[in-house]
Amino acid sequence: MFVAHFDTRESPDRMKKKYMQWALVVLVIATLAGLVWNHYGMNSMLIIDANSSYNIEAIDDSSASGNTRSVLKRENGKLVLECAIGTKFQWPFCEISIDLGEAPNGMDLTGYDTLRIWAHSEGPAKQNQIRFFIRNFNSSYSTIADPLTLKPHEIVYNPDQQAQPLEVDMSQFTVSSWWSNARNMPMKYAGNDFSNVVTVAVSSGGYVEPGAHKITLERIEFQGKLIRPSTFRLGIIGVWLLAAIIYLISDGMIARANLANIRLKQMSLMRINEGLRVQSKNLERLAQRDPLTGALNRDGLSEQLLRLANRSKSVFPLSLIFIDIDYFKQINDQHGHAAGDQVLQELAGIVKDNIQREDLFARWGGEEFLLVCPMTHASEAKVIADRLRQLIEKKKWPNEIHLTSSFGIAECAAGEAISESIKRADEAMYRAKQEGRNRVEVQIVARQPQSSDTQPM
Q: For residue 288, tell me if it sits in a domain.
A: no
Please give the pLDDT value at position 190.
85
Of the residues 244, 279, 314, which one is the last residue of a structural domain? 279
Phi, psi of 362 (to 5 degrees): -135, 145
DSSP for 376-418, written as a single string: --HHHHHHHHHHHHHHHHHS--GGG----EEEEEEEEPTTS-H
Q: For residue 6, tell me if it sits in a domain.
A: no
Domain co-membership, 166 together with 33: no
Active site residues: 367
**pLDDT in tens for each of the 457 residues of the chain?**
444 444 556 667 677 777 777 888 888 888 888 787 777 778 889 999 999 999 999 999 998 899 999 999 999 999 999 999 999 998 899 999 999 999 999 999 998 999 999 999 999 988 889 999 999 999 999 999 899 999 999 999 998 888 889 999 999 999 988 898 888 878 888 889 999 999 999 999 888 899 999 999 999 999 998 887 778 788 889 888 888 888 788 777 656 765 777 877 777 566 656 654 555 555 455 588 999 999 999 999 988 888 877 776 678 889 999 999 999 999 999 999 999 999 999 999 999 999 998 899 999 989 999 999 999 999 999 999 999 999 999 999 988 899 999 999 999 887 788 888 899 999 999 999 999 999 999 987 644 444 433 333 3
Q: For residue 217, tell me if it sits in a domain.
A: yes
Domain co-membership, 262 together with 210: no
Q: For residue 29, tell me if it sits in a domain.
A: yes
Domain co-membership, 186 together with 243: no
- d(C-alpha 435, C-alpha 428), whole Å: 10
User: Does the pTM of the predicted model rise above 0.75?
Assistant: no
Domain co-membership, 343 together with 382: yes
Sequence-ordered list of residues with C-beta below 8 angstroms from that of 363, at least 6 positions apart, any chain: 290, 292, 293, 295, 296, 297, 344, 348, 369, 370
Contact indicator for 114, 218 with CB cutoff of 8 Å: no
Domain co-membership, 240 together with 258: no
Domain co-membership, 174 together with 233: no
Domain co-membership, 158 together with 237: no
Please give the pLDDT value at position 1.
46
- Quote the number of domains for the chain: 4
- Residue 380 is part of a domain; what is its CATH number? 3.30.70.270
Domain co-membership, 55 together with 201: yes
One-letter identity of residue 119: A
- d(C-alpha 88, C-alpha 323), whole Å: 39
Please give the pLDDT value at position 350.
94
Instruction: For residue 149, give the nearest of 162, 161, 158, 140 by alpha carbon.
Output: 140
Domain co-membership, 353 together with 408: yes
Q: For residue 448, tell me if it sits in a domain.
A: no
- Residue 181 is part of a domain; what is its CATH number? 2.60.120.430
What count of Cα atoms within 13 Å lies in the side-chain half-sphere of residue 109?
29
Please give the pLDDT value at position 274.
61
Domain co-membership, 25 together with 158: no
For residue 92, give its domain range.
Answer: 47-225
Domain co-membership, 154 together with 20: no
Domain co-membership, 352 together with 369: yes
